[in-house]
Amino acid sequence: MNNKIKKIVIISMVIFIAIAGAVFGTYKYNMVQSYNNLINEANQYMDGGEYDKAIAVFNQSLSYKKDTNVERSITLAKRLKEVKVIYDNGIKQMSDKNYSEAIETFKKVTKEDSKIYDNAKKKIEECKKQFTALNIQKASNSAKNNKYEEANKYLDEVLKLDSNNAEVKKLKDAYDKKDKEEQDKIKAEQQEKQKEEAKKSSSGVTQQQACKIVERYVKHKGVKTIFEYDHDENRNGVNYYVIHAFDDMGDHIATSGWYYVDKKTGKAYEWDLVSDNFILLN
């Protein structure tokens, strides 16, 4: 009887151990399978550039087991996320036509993601082309208005990026030449004006011209106001024409003012009768 009981106990223990082993094996298999599924899922997110999701799933996998490779993947995902933010910011600056800023931003993209890195290099070249075209257009618009100095400032911005740009250098030389011609023209006009003024100053003005000068600058004249030469007068060594301004009322005249015009320079003054002072008109 005892042998029979012992045999039953042994068989029961064997069955229990077998079942326990099977259960443990199944549990372990499931754990490994879940871990592998999480790693695969995280890697898919990495490939798709969804780094926040990848980081979350990688962290979830660490609850199954510690793995230095997973920890390195999390660090890489964080860095790739930063690189993507930098790249996306450069794209925005580029779309806003802030090409200089975009170029500097794209230069910050590192090689962790070779695809983004290569794209950033291409974007830099695109920005340079767009920046050059934009500034050449601005320079052209300024040149059309004879603003050659302003035009060359736009071209100088291009040369900061591409100092060997032959087209821009040629334009800059052309604008420099036109700017010099424009300055020479202005200078010649100023000299001619100075000559005319000197000639006018040396020859002086006529009585009729003196009347016209006063009429031109008097603001309170009426419709019927007449400006008429009255006499010559010398004051403090200066010879003046004295111009009488009056309104012809038919049966009498109404004086509106007395004016003095320098015979030599054409400078006109209103005479303040009360203070006996001159008030400059022109």
pLDDT single digits (tens) 21-37: 544 445 454 567 888 88
How many domains does the chain fold into?
3
Stronger pLDDT, 158 or 32, i.e. the higher one: 158
Cβ-contact 78, 51 below 8 angstroms: yes
What six digits make up the tokens of 88?
Answer: 């996306």
Cβ-contact 38, 64 below 8 angstroms: yes
Q: pLDDT value at position 14?
A: 54
Stronger pLDDT, 282 or 153, i.e. the higher one: 153
Do 224 and 176 belong to one domain?
no
CA dist., res. 62 & res. 95, Å (int): 41
Q: pLDDT value at position 181?
A: 87
Residue 93 domain-assigned (yes or no): no
Mean pLDDT of the chain: 86
- Going by pLDDT thresholds of 50, 70 and 90, the confidence category of residue 113 is confident
Residue 39 domain-assigned (yes or no): yes
Q: Is the pLDDT of residue 232 over 90?
A: yes
Residue 85 domain-assigned (yes or no): no
Nearest to 48 by CA among 89, 80, 87, 92: 80
Do 105 and 175 belong to one domain?
yes
Stronger pLDDT, 188 or 192, i.e. the higher one: 188
Cβ-contact 104, 137 below 8 angstroms: no
Q: Which of 183, 217, 239 is the last residue of a domain?
A: 183
- Going by pLDDT thresholds of 50, 70 and 90, the confidence category of residue 39 is confident
Q: Which amino acid is at 14?
A: V
Residue 74 domain-assigned (yes or no): no
Residue 256 domain-assigned (yes or no): yes
Residue 75 domain-assigned (yes or no): no
Q: pLDDT value at position 25?
A: 47
- Cα 200 to chain centroid distance, Å, stands at 49
Residue 31 domain-assigned (yes or no): yes
pLDDT in tens, 56-70: 988 988 888 888 988
- Going by pLDDT thresholds of 50, 70 and 90, the confidence category of residue 193 is confident
Across 185-201, average pLDDT: 76
Across 8-24, average pLDDT: 56
Question: Which residues have a Cβ under 8 Å from the Cβ of 219 and sit 6 or more positions away?
Answer: none
Q: pLDDT value at position 86?
A: 94
Residue 193 domain-assigned (yes or no): no
Domain, as residue range, for 116:
99-183
CA dist., res. 152 & res. 168, Å (int): 9
- Going by pLDDT thresholds of 50, 70 and 90, the confidence category of residue 114 is confident
